[in-house]
Structure 1
Amino acid sequence: MPLTPLDIHNKEFGRRLRGYDEDEVNEFLDQVIKDYEALIRENKDLQNQILNLQEKLNHFANIEETLSKTIIVAQEAADEVKGNAKKEAQLIIKEAEKNADRIVNDSLMKSRKVSLEVEELKKQASIYRTRFRTLVEAQLELLSQDGWDKLESASSTLSIEHSSR
């Protein structure tokens, strides 16, 4: 058991001849008691400080651990968001490529259809032109026949006779 200031104060020494001066010994013991009490108080203060610092250290260690876990969770969440965004971007690209292919194919089909329609219209125009030419040539041929001349002369004679009356 550690020595207390009271133990020092109550300590009795045996007397001998030619011993120490009792007042000097008592003064010295009083000084030792004061210093010892001061050291005990200082020790208690230091122990309290150690406890406070230990509590703060534990608190900061808990904060550090929480921050570490939070950073890890945030990193995992960021990685997950990044991965999801990448997957979504790939899906969007694939969908866009499909739409682009569909649009190109539709355009090619429409272009072919229009091209076929143009060719058909050219054929019909050619046929119409040929028929119209044939019709016009037939009409010209009719006009150039001798029968018109006779009809004209007969018509002139009738006009002259009709005017003379």
Structure 2
Amino acid sequence: MRITPLDIQQKQFPMKFRGFDVEEVYAFLEVIREEMEELLRENATLKENVQRAESHVKEYKEMENTLRETLMTAQQMVEDYKTNARKEAELLIKEAEIRADELIKGAQEKVIKIHEDIVDLKGIRRHFKEELRRLIENHTRMLDHDSYREGENREEVAE
């Protein structure tokens, strides 16, 4: 059973022989009633403060959860970006390696073609030299033959 300040104020005590001083009892009850009213007001204020504080704590916990979720999402996004960047870098490196291999292969093929052309040109040069030598030899023989014939003609004319 809860006692209210009103219960204290309205409480009546029966009188007995050689009992308490009634004025003093009622004065004391009045002090108790006032103290109890003050305590009840203070208790109500504290309850309101607790409710407000609990409400704030609840809000802060919700904000904390939201921030935690946001942070986790941001961290996941960062990890995803890192993973994607790594994959892109690996892909670019592979593409560059393939392109470099193709360029090297093309250059090697050009070197082989140039060597083949050099060999062909050397053959053509050798053939040209031989043809030129034959031509010179033929012309030399013709000149020698002409000189010989001129010498015969001179001997015939001198005779």
TM-score bracket for the superposition, by shorter chain length: 0.7 to 0.9
In the alignment, what sits opposite 1:53? 53
SS state at 1:107 partner: helix
CA displacement, residues 62-102 of structure 1 (integer Å, 9 cap, x when unaligned): 11111222222222222222222222222222222221211
Taking only the aligned residue pairs, the percentage that are identical comes to: 32
In the alignment, what sits opposite 1:39? 39
Structure 2: distance between partners of 1:148 and 1:58: 133
Structure 1: distance between partners of 2:131 and 2:86: 66
In the alignment, what sits opposite 2:87? 87
Structure 2: distance between partners of 1:126 and 1:115: 16
In the alignment, what sits opposite 1:146? 148
In the alignment, what sits opposite 2:5? 5
Task: Give the letter for the 2:22 counterpart.
Answer: E
Unaligned runs of 5+ in 2: 155-159
Structure 2: distance between partners of 1:64 and 1:149: 126
TM-score by length of 1: 0.84
Structure 2: distance between partners of 1:148 and 1:57: 134
Q: What value does the CA root-mean-square deviation take over the aligned residues?
A: 1.9
Structure 2: distance between partners of 1:55 and 1:40: 22
Unaligned runs of 5+ in 1: 154-165
Task: Give the letter for the 1:140 counterpart.
Answer: T
Give the 4+ runs in structure 1 shifted more than 6 A: none
Structure 1: distance between partners of 2:105 and 2:49: 82
SS state at 1:2 partner: coil
In the alignment, what sits opposite 1:101? 101
Task: Give the letter for the 1:129 counterpart.
Answer: K
CA displacement, residues 21-51 of structure 1 (integer Å, 9 cap, x when unaligned): 2221121111111111111111111111110
Number of residue equivalences: 153
TM-score by length of 2: 0.87
Cα distance, 1:132 vs. partner? 1.1
* Residue 24 (1) aligns with residue 48 (2): no
CA displacement, residues 93-147 of structure 1 (integer Å, 9 cap, x when unaligned): 2222221211111111111111101110111011111211221222223223312
Structure 2: distance between partners of 1:29 and 1:46: 25
In the alignment, what sits opposite 1:74? 74
Structure 2: distance between partners of 1:110 and 1:119: 14
Cα distance, 1:149 vs. partner? 4.5
